[in-house]
Amino acid sequence: MKRIYVNEKWCLGCHLCEYECAFANSGLTDMVKALKGKAIRPNIRVEDGNGVHFAVNCRHCSDPICVHSCIAGALSAEDGTVKIDGEKCVGCFTCVLVCPYGAILPSADGRIAQKCMLCLNNSCGEPNCVKHCINNAIVYEERG
Amino acid sequence: MNMYIQPEYEVVRDKDRCIACRVCERQCANLVHSFDAETGTMRADSGLCVNCHRCVCVCPTHALKIVKSDDTYKINANWDNQTINEVYRQANSGGVLLSSMGNPKDYPVFWDKMLINASQVTNPPIDPLREPMETQLWLGKRTVKIERDANGKLKNTLPPQLKLKVPIMFSAMSYGSISYNAHEALARAAEELGTFYNTGEGGLHKDFYKYGKNTIVQVASGRFGVHKEYLDAAAAIEIKMGQGAKPGIGGHLPGEKISADVSETRMIPQGVDAISPAPHHDIYSIEDLRQLVYSLKEATDYKKPVIVKIAAVHNCAAIASGIARSGADIIAIDGYRGGTGAAPTRIRDNVGIPIELALAQIDERLREEGIRDEVSVVVGGSVRSSADVVKAIALGADACYIGTAALLALGCHLCRSCHTGKCNWGIATQIPELVKRLNPDVGYKRLVNLVTAWNHEIQEMMGGMGINSVEALRGNRLMLRGIGLTDTELSVLGIKYAGESM
């Protein structure tokens, strides 16, 4: 199963992935139009501290606790991807509480939860954070 | 702060395109960019900018560009802005001006004044995609005595050779002047390409002994990091007598760059300046050089070729003749455009001669004296493209060293600020936060791509000439014609003018 992995050794803490994520999920084709003057709410977050940088997004766990905890049946695991259906989400945010990685967040309007869906839900078709990482710190690959 | 010096370049931000993502700010080690929280906009202080283009490259909306400042002193053909600024800088500091990378001055580039031949009708060109086209070669002495054993079988008396799959090697760049990751990228690329990289005078990091069969180790005047295992690990040993960027002087790696790792590798104290003397204190003649050549051969059991590297200077042909007689297997010549991690500006910009002229004269001299086969000749000092490689081989070189081109492949933008130690591309720095910006997984592939691409082009050009191996192109000066050159330049290069027939 291909997964997103982050190599802390190569993460520079530039935070470019956050903006590429926000752009990918904006539904727009122009980054300036999509992001200028707006506070972004990306599904990937770079944690910084003590000279260490690490981009964190959904691990798409093989036994996802968020899916088990979802009271509305909005979260599901399919072909190794943990997906959220915004139509079904009731905004209880149990998933936000239980995710051990802090990778699920309330959406901008605060009504439903949002999470990384490997850009399968937008026009990118492949994880945009991986595509634009300037130092190959974020990779999407098969590992044993 | 020097109030006299104004920014040479200006950072221009397209406010309509900037999304204030602050990536430029996080990626600039010179602290040019800053975020103004009050207005939510980005700012730039051009006075701190070295024009390395890191911010321009990482900006996701292409909102940045760097332009030459049009601020100018009163126009003066004799005292241009830079000349005046250098006076101000020295009046301010009282010190020697320092520069990095190769001589950027507007001297003639002789590569660009030579044209390559091609076959038409009478001697057909060769298509390298359909027919064999050999770029593999060996460096070392070709002269052997024919000896037979008791049964009359030929004995192998061939002196040690270096086998190159491409006529290109990576030039000497020391660990210290460039980063661990840059060295790893060069080593891995050399291994994959079947060629060699060169440790420079900084010793060989213990992690890189595994790339030994693709490593040339250097013995320079400072003798940093030289010990038995170091010599044993390598495929060849290079004695550095001079460097094209700074002929006649030694080196000086500032203490800030002597990290714990660099200190261990160089076998010198941490944080203390590493000074390479101008001369080797035990070499004042060809006879002395011969002693070092044979000491190194003795130490390594006569199993490794010894290279002697000199800077291209006025008398280099005679010096090369001496080197060929000193027992060295390979002569490396470094032209005045060659790069450096730091050199006094006046030396870099005013000392030495072009590699094209030095190469032509050395090859000619060695042929005249009948000792060309005693040595292979490798040239470096601004070999910028595959065309330069082809021209160098046709002028008489066996192979080329590339340094600047290799660094460009790793991301270098030739901002020429290596001596500040704050390379934003993770190449010429020892600051861990910056070093990690060069991921060797990415870097080594880019180096492999570059050399592979050049090799294809070399094959195409050779095929066009109807030549099917670099061995057959070597010294084939009839394949070159000069353009825009004087009679003296043509005679020094030993080539005819364009339009003159065979």
Smallest CA–CA distance, residue A19 to chain B, in Å, is 7
Residue of B nearest to A133 (CA): B58
Same domain (yes/no): B57, B172:
no
Phi, psi of B257 (to 5 degrees): -85, -5
Distance CA A22, CA B60 (A): 12
Same domain (yes/no): B68, B171:
no
A136 close contact with B: CB closer than 8 A: yes
Q: Do B60 and A37 touch (CB under 8 A)?
A: no
A15 close contact with B: CB closer than 8 A: yes
Same domain (yes/no): B420, B376:
yes
> How many other C-beta atoms lie within 10 A of the C-beta of residue B139?
24
Mind listing the pLDDT tens digit for each residue in B146-178?
Answer: 899 999 999 888 999 999 999 999 999 999 999
Phi, psi of B489 (to 5 degrees): -60, -40
Same domain (yes/no): B331, B193:
yes
Q: In a mutagenesis test of the B interface, which of A18, A23, A31 is the best target, namely the one with the most B β-carbons within 10 Å?
A: A31
Same domain (yes/no): B244, B174:
yes
Distance CA B433, CA A48 (A): 13
Q: What is the mean pLDDT of chain B?
A: 95
B482 CB-near residues (< 8 Å, 6+ apart): B113, B114, B115, B489, B490, B493, B495, B496, B497, B498
Same domain (yes/no): B76, B197:
no
In three-state secondary structure terms, B209 is: helix
Helix ranges (H only) for B216-285 are: 228-233, 260-266
A29 CB-near residues (< 8 Å, 6+ apart): none
Interface contacts (A, B; CB < 8 Å): 55
- Please give the pLDDT value at position B478: 96
Mind listing the pLDDT tens digit for each residue in B318-332?
Answer: 999 999 999 999 999
- Please give the pLDDT value at position A51: 83
Q: Where do the structural domains in chain A lie, given as residue ranges?
A: 1-57+118-144, 59-115
CATH of the domain at B34: 3.30.70.20
Contact A28, A124 (CB under 8 A): no
Contact A46, A15 (CB under 8 A): yes
Q: Is residue B117 part of a domain?
A: no
Residue of A nearest to B58 (CA): A134
- Please give the pLDDT value at position A82: 94
- Please give the pLDDT value at position B70: 95
> How many other C-beta atoms lie within 10 A of the C-beta of residue A118?
25
- Considering the segment(s) A1-57+118-144 as one domain, its CATH architecture is 2-Layer Sandwich (3.30)
Mind listing the pLDDT tens digit for each residue in B192-202?
Answer: 999 999 999 99
In three-state secondary structure terms, A38 is: coil
- Beta-bridge partners for B325: none
Smallest CA–CA distance, residue A140 to chain B, in Å, is 15
Contact B338, B406 (CB under 8 A): no
Please report where in the chains the tokens 């394949």 appear, as a residue: B479
pLDDT interval class at A126 (50, 70, 90)? confident
- Please give the pLDDT value at position A14: 96
Contact B50, B30 (CB under 8 A): yes
**DSSP state letter for B5:** P
Residue of B nearest to A35 (CA): B19
- Please give the pLDDT value at position A121: 86
Mean pLDDT of B436-461: 97
Pairing of strands B480-482, B496-497: parallel
Same domain (yes/no): B36, B177:
no
A52 close contact with B: CB closer than 8 A: no
Biggest CA pair distance of chain A: 42
ipTM of the complex: 0.92
Number of domains in chain B: 2
Which positions in chain A touch B40 (Cβ < 8 Å)?
37
pLDDT interval class at B493 (50, 70, 90)? very high
- Please give the pLDDT value at position B500: 94
Distance CA B455, CA B449 (A): 10
Q: Is residue B114 part of a domain?
A: no
Q: Which one of B51, B68, B95 terminates a domain? A: B95
Considering CB atoms only, which of B57, B63, B439 is closest to A136? B439
Strands (E), B254-357: 274-276, 306-311, 330-334, 343-344
Domain range for B70 is 9-95
A39 close contact with B: CB closer than 8 A: no
B436 close contact with A: CB closer than 8 A: yes
> A12-29: buried (b, 16+ CB within 10 Å) or exposed (e) per residue?
bbbbbbbbbbbbbbbeee
Per CATH, A1-57+118-144 and A59-115 having the same topology is answered yes
Mean pLDDT of B126-142: 95
pLDDT interval class at B228 (50, 70, 90)? very high
Q: Do B40 and A37 touch (CB under 8 A)?
A: yes
A143 close contact with B: CB closer than 8 A: no
- Please give the pLDDT value at position B502: 78
CATH of the domain at B452: 3.20.20.70
Which positions in chain A touch B432 (Cβ < 8 Å)?
51
Strand order in the sheet with B376-380: B168-170, B399-402, B376-380, B330-334, B306-311, B236-240, B215-219, B197-198
pLDDT interval class at A79 (50, 70, 90)? confident
Contact B173, B200 (CB under 8 A): yes
Residue of B nearest to A37 (CA): B19
pLDDT interval class at B399 (50, 70, 90)? very high
Which positions in chain B touch A132 (Cβ < 8 Å)?
60
Structure tokens at B394: 């046709």
Residue B27 has pLDDT above 80, yes or no: yes
Residue B406 has pLDDT above 90, yes or no: yes
Portion of chain B with pLDDT greater than 70, in percent: 100
Pairing of strands B98-99, B64-68: unpaired
- Please give the pLDDT value at position B196: 98
> How many other C-beta atoms lie within 10 A of the C-beta of residue B28?
22
Distance CA B73, CA B90 (A): 18
Residue of A nearest to B432 (CA): A51
Q: What is the mean pLDDT of chain A?
A: 93
Q: Is residue B122 part of a domain?
A: no
pLDDT interval class at A131 (50, 70, 90)? very high
Same domain (yes/no): B321, B432:
yes
Which positions in chain A touch B22 (Cβ < 8 Å)?
15
Full DSSP string of B463-490: HHHT--BHHHHTT-GGGEEESS--HHHH
Residue B455 has pLDDT above 90, yes or no: yes
Phi, psi of A5 (to 5 degrees): -120, 145
Considering CB atoms only, which of B19, B436, B439 is closest to A36? B19
Distance CA B447, CA B442 (A): 9
Helix ranges (H only) for B50-179 are: 54-58, 81-93
Q: Do A12 and B437 touch (CB under 8 A)?
A: yes
- Considering the segment(s) A59-115 as one domain, its CATH architecture is 2-Layer Sandwich (3.30)
Give the helix/strand (H/E) hosting A26. none
A139 close contact with B: CB closer than 8 A: no
- Please give the pLDDT value at position B144: 79
Residue A97 has pLDDT above 80, yes or no: yes
- Please give the pLDDT value at position B220: 95
Q: Is residue B469 part of a domain?
A: yes
Q: Is residue B118 part of a domain?
A: no
> How many other C-beta atoms lie within 10 A of the C-beta of residue B460?
17
- Please give the pLDDT value at position B310: 97
Phi, psi of B448 (to 5 degrees): -60, -45
- Please give the pLDDT value at position B64: 98
Which positions in chain B touch A135 (Cβ < 8 Å)?
436-437, 439, 442
- Please give the pLDDT value at position B80: 94
Query: Distance between alpha carbon A102 and the CA centroid of its chain, in Å?
Result: 10
- Please give the pLDDT value at position A1: 79
Mean pLDDT of A32-38: 95
Residue B25 identity: E
As a dihedral over the C-alpha atoms of residue B274, residue B275, residue B281, residue B283, rounded to 10 degrees, the angle is: 90
Residue B2 has pLDDT above 70, yes or no: yes
Query: Distance between alpha carbon B324 and the CA centroid of its chain, in Å?
Result: 22
- Please give the pLDDT value at position A3: 87
Smallest CA–CA distance, residue A10 to chain B, in Å, is 6
Please report where in the chains the tokens 């595994």 appear, as a residue: B210
Residues B175, A6, A32, CA angle at the centre, nearest 5°?
100
Contact B372, B331 (CB under 8 A): no
Q: In a mutagenesis test of the B interface, which of A7, A26, A32, A53 is the best target, namely the one with the most B β-carbons within 10 Å?
A: A32
A54 close contact with B: CB closer than 8 A: no
